[in-house]
Structure 1
Amino acid sequence: MTTPRTYGDPCALTRALDVIGERWALVIVRELLFGPKRYSDLQGGLPNASPTVLAQRLKELEGADVIQRRKLGPPARAWVYELTDWGRELEPILVRLGHWGRRTPRHDAAGMLSTDSLMLALESHLDLTRLGGLTATYLVDLGEDLFTVRLVDGALAIRREEPAHHDAAVRTDPTTFKALVIEGRPAGELGGRLTATGDLEALDRLLGALSD
């Protein structure tokens, strides 16, 4: 029987790494930050993780109370993985780690990112101090995945779901969204690959707060 490795060190940092330091563990957390996913959805977002490793990491994270399994009600009736309250506390840590990782010399921008990774990049690149006390709700439609981006007095929350109401909407594909958020391409240069509707002033304020 495989058991998680441990540093055997009482330092709080190493105890944290005992829980989320194995390969793919934090990436699984990233994929669940904005809402629950089925196992097949996790596989789709992590194509380079072998089924054996993915299943093992999910088992370890569930055993450590970072994630939990839950059965959805009708009509889906599917089992999903989701973060526990303790697991969700990793969100600001991943945002800060993303800030740090953007400066790594080992940088390959050519690969495709999962939609959850793109939304984490949005959170990481967004300079909330430039938004003042903006309150607005946005729909981000990336084709198969819909996200709610909600700002309340400058505080940000993102969920993988369609909002009941939105002030503005962005509809595009993941590659174009990557160009907008990560590569810093102006929306006007993206042509028909991006559609914006609703309160365009509120949307311009959001996009104008994106940092390099």
Structure 2
Amino acid sequence: MRGFDDPCGIARALGQIGERWALLVVRELLLGPKRFSDLRRGLPGISENVLSQRLRELEHANLVRRRRFAPSSTSAYELTGRGRELEPVLMELRRWGEYVPLGDAVSPALGIDALVLALTGRFTAGDATPRDAVVQLRFDDDHFLLVIKNGRLLAKRAEVDDADSTITTTAATLQSLVFDERTIADAERSGDLTITGDRDTVEHLLRCSRHSGEARPVPTTEQKSDQARR
């Protein structure tokens, strides 16, 4: 990777993760290991050659490693301990980025991993009654374990049998429930959402993710003036 001939920690960090797509590859691995084909699916705009190059660079920087996972001995990529240290950095970038205007050419659809990370990042119990619970979230072949504990929401790619609630839906539906405040009842009527187990837990999860203070930020007067000057 290219360096900046600058001893500042920011410059040294960007020398390892500043190339295009590098941090998004890390994002795709925050919730658990992925095969190369799954990384391609999560990053539809990246070419196979560029993804291979970024993975090699991240492996060389000891941020990503490749290993085989039982029982099928499938080869997949996962973050190292050093790579996992980037999680709070990426979550702060995600929060900051919600205030960046979407261009006309940008699709409003979030990828599955980006959506789950937005869910965890936006979640705040606030004044809601404390509720600890385990939720299974299923999108076709992508299954996530969501754990609500001590007013926080944690997520990882996993399948469990003893969840308090199970949500079966699509990424587009969940995005509409969280960002566009579509109602659970409407999603269920249309067949886009199925809830089994404790329904109150699911309602609590969505309510605490909608009203986080991050929903569709309105530009400040200063930001509007800057945009007008441009």
Instruction: Give the TM-score normalised by structure 1.
Output: 0.91
Q: Give the corresponding residue for 2:95.
A: 99
Give the Cα–Cα distance (whole angstroms) in 1 for the partners of residues 156 and 15 of structure 2.
28
Q: Give the corresponding residue for 1:48.
A: 45
Give the Cα–Cα distance (whole angstroms) in 2 for the partners of residues 87 and 129 of structure 1.
30
1:23 offset after TM fit, Å? 0.4
Bigger shift: 57-66 or 94-103? 94-103
Root-mean-square deviation (Å): 1.7
The residue type equivalent to 1:91 in the other structure is E
The residue type equivalent to 1:156 in the other structure is L
The gaps in structure 1 that reach 5 residues or longer are none
> Considering only CA atoms, is the larger Rg found in Structure 1 or Structure 2?
2
Residue 203, structure 1, aligned to residue 199, structure 2: no
Residue 125, structure 1, aligned to residue 100, structure 2: no
Encode CA deviations 1:143-169: one digit per residue, 9 max, x unaligned: 110100012222332111112420111
1:22 to 6, 19, 24: 19
Give the Cα–Cα distance (whole angstroms) in 2 for the partners of residues 130 and 57 of structure 1.
43
* Equivalent residues of 2:166, 2:196 under 8 A apart: yes
Query: Given the superposition, is the C-alpha separation of residues 199 and 107 from structure 1 closer, same or farther in structure 2, using an over 3 Å criterion?
Result: farther
1:45 offset after TM fit, Å? 1.1
Query: Given the superposition, is the C-alpha separation of residues 104 and 137 from structure 1 closer, same or farther in structure 2, using an over 3 Å criterion?
Result: same
The residue type equivalent to 2:147 in the other structure is R
1:186 offset after TM fit, Å? 2.4
Query: Given the superposition, is the C-alpha separation of residues 29 and 130 from structure 1 closer, same or farther in structure 2, using an over 3 Å criterion?
Result: farther
1:189 offset after TM fit, Å? 2.6
Query: Given the superposition, is the C-alpha separation of residues 6 and 150 from structure 1 closer, same or farther in structure 2, using an over 3 Å criterion?
Result: same
Query: Given the superposition, is the C-alpha separation of residues 112 and 32 from structure 1 closer, same or farther in structure 2, using an over 3 Å criterion?
Result: same
| Percent sequence identity over aligned pairs | 41
Q: Give the corresponding residue for 2:28.
A: 31
Query: Given the superposition, is the C-alpha separation of residues 15 and 128 from structure 1 closer, same or farther in structure 2, using an over 3 Å criterion?
Result: farther
* Equivalent residues of 1:132, 1:153 under 8 A apart: no
* Equivalent residues of 1:170, 1:194 under 8 A apart: yes
The residue type equivalent to 1:93 in the other structure is V
Query: Given the superposition, is the C-alpha separation of residues 154 and 23 from structure 1 closer, same or farther in structure 2, using an over 3 Å criterion?
Result: same
2:84 to 84, 88, 91: 88
The residue type equivalent to 2:91 in the other structure is V
* Equivalent residues of 1:121, 1:182 under 8 A apart: no
Alignment of 1:121-160 (within 5 A): 121-131=118-128, 133-160=130-157
Q: Give the corresponding residue for 1:184.
A: 181
Encode CA deviations 1:49-80: one digit per residue, 9 max, x unaligned: 01111001000001111111111122x11111
Query: Given the superposition, is the C-alpha separation of residues 130 and 169 from structure 1 closer, same or farther in structure 2, using an over 3 Å criterion?
Result: farther
The residue type equivalent to 1:135 in the other structure is D
Query: Given the superposition, is the C-alpha separation of residues 27 and 131 from structure 1 closer, same or farther in structure 2, using an over 3 Å criterion?
Result: farther
Bigger shift: 42-51 or 107-116? 107-116
Give the Cα–Cα distance (whole angstroms) in 2 for the partners of residues 107 and 169 of structure 1.
35
Give the Cα–Cα distance (whole angstroms) in 1 for the partners of residues 129 and 150 of structure 2.
7
* Equivalent residues of 1:147, 1:159 under 8 A apart: yes
Give the Cα–Cα distance (whole angstroms) in 1 for the partners of residues 81 and 126 of structure 2.
27
1:131 offset after TM fit, Å? 5.0
Instruction: Give the TM-score normalised by structure 2.
Output: 0.84
Give the Cα–Cα distance (whole angstroms) in 2 for the partners of residues 30 and 130 of structure 1.
30
